[in-house]
Structure 1
Amino acid sequence: MIGDNHGALTLGAIARHGLSGVRTHQDRLLGERALHANAERLRLDGFRSHGLTPELVAGARVVLMQLPRSLDALDEIAGLIAENADPDVVVVAGGRVKHMTPAMNEVLGRYFGTVQARLARQKSRVLLASTPRPRFERPEQRWPQKREHADLGITVYAHGGAFAGTGIDIGTRALLQHLDKIPTDITSAVDLGCGTGVLAVELARANGALTVTATDESAAAVASARATVAANGLDGRVVVVRGDGAEAVPDASADVVLLNPPFHVGAAVHDGVARTLFAEAARVLKPGGELWAVWNSHLRYRPALERVVGPTRQVSRDPKFTVTVSTKRDQVPPS
Structure 2
Amino acid sequence: MDFSLLQRAPDVDGPDLAAFDAADRLILDQATDLIAGSAPGTVTVIDDAYGALTLGALAAGAVDVRSHQDALTGQRALARNAERLGAAVTQAPFDASAVAGARVVLMRLPRSLDRLAEVAALLAAHAEPDVVVVAGGRIKHMSVAMNEVLGELFERIDVSHARQKSRVLFARGPRADHGAELLATWPRTQRHDDLALTVAAHGGVFAGTRVDIGTRLLLGELDAALPDASTAVDLACGSGVVASALALARPHAAVIATDRSAAAAASARATAAANGVADRVTVVQADGLETVGDASQELVVLNPPFHADAALSTGIARHLFSDAARTLAPGGELWCVWNSHLRYRPALEKIVGPTRQIARNSKFTVTASVAR
Q: Which band: TM-score by shorter chain?
A: over 0.9
> Are 1:56 and 2:98 counterparts?
yes
CA contact (8 A) 1:161 1:220 kept: yes
Matched, 1:113 2:135: no
**C-alpha RMSD of the superposition:** 1.3
Letter in 2 for 1:147: Q
Letter in 2 for 1:204: A
Q: Distance in 2 between matches of 1:155 and 1:248?
A: 27
Count of residues in Structure 1 that have an aligned counterpart in Structure 2: 327
Q: Which moved more, 1:187-196 or 1:50-59?
A: 50-59
CA distance in 2, matches of 1:284, 1:80: 38
Shift of 1:189: 1.1
Give structure 1 stretches of 5+ with no counterpart.
Answer: 330-335
Report the 3-state secondary structure (helix = DSSP H, G, I; strand = E; otherwise coil) of the residue aligned with 2:46: coil
Report the Cα offset of residue 112 of structure 1: 0.4
Structure 1 SS opposite 2:182: coil
d(CA) in 1 for partners of 2:307 and 2:129? 38
8 Å CA contact 1:113–1:133 kept in 2: the answer is yes
Report SS of the residue matched to 2:245.
helix
1:206 aligns with one of 224, 236, 249: 249
Give, in angstroms, the shift of residue 137 of structure 1: 8.9
1:13 aligns with 2:57: yes
Q: In structure 2, give the amino acid aligned to 1:171.
A: G
String of CA shifts for 1:184-242, please: whole Å, max 9, x gaps: 22111111100000001111111111001110001110110011111111123110001
Return the letter of the residue paired with 2:199: V
Counterpart of 2:125 in 1: which secondary structure?
A: helix
SS at match of 1:186: coil
* Contact 1:252–1:285 (Cα < 8 Å) also in 2: yes
Q: Could you tell me which residue of structure 2 aligns to residue 276 of structure 1?
A: 319
> 1:66-124 CA deviation, whole Å, 9 max, x = no partner?
10010000000001100111001100001111111111111100000100001011211
Cα distance, 1:136 vs structure 2: 5.2
Alignment of 1:1-335 (within 5 A): 1-17=45-61, 19-45=62-88, 47-133=89-175, 135=177, 140-141=182-183, 142-329=185-372
**Deviation, structure 1 residue 21:** 2.2
Percent of pairs with identical residues: 60
Instruction: Please report how far the alpha carbon of residue 138 of structure 1 lies from its aligned counterpart in structure 2 after TM superposition.
Output: 8.3
- State how far apart, in whole Å, the 1-side matches of 2:311 and 2:178 are: 39
TM-score (norm 2): 0.86
Tell me if structure 2 keeps the 8 A contact 1:278–1:309.
yes
Q: Secondary structure at the match of 1:322?
A: strand
1:140 is paired with a residue whose SS is helix
Q: Which runs of 4+ in 1 moved over 4 A?
A: 136-139
Deviation at 1:172, TM superposition (A): 0.6
Q: Provide the rounded CA distance (Å) in 2 between the counterparts of 1:73 and 1:100.
A: 13
Counterpart amino acid of residue 123 in structure 1: K
Q: Distance in 1 between matches of 2:176 and 2:98?
A: 20
The answer as to whether partners of 2:153 and 2:178 remain within 8 angstroms in 1 is no
Q: 1:20 deviation in Å? A: 2.6
Structure 2: runs of 5+ lacking an equivalent? 1-44
- How far apart, in 1, do the equivalents of 2:160 and 2:243 lie? 44
C-alpha distance in 1 between matches for 2:214 and 2:178: 40
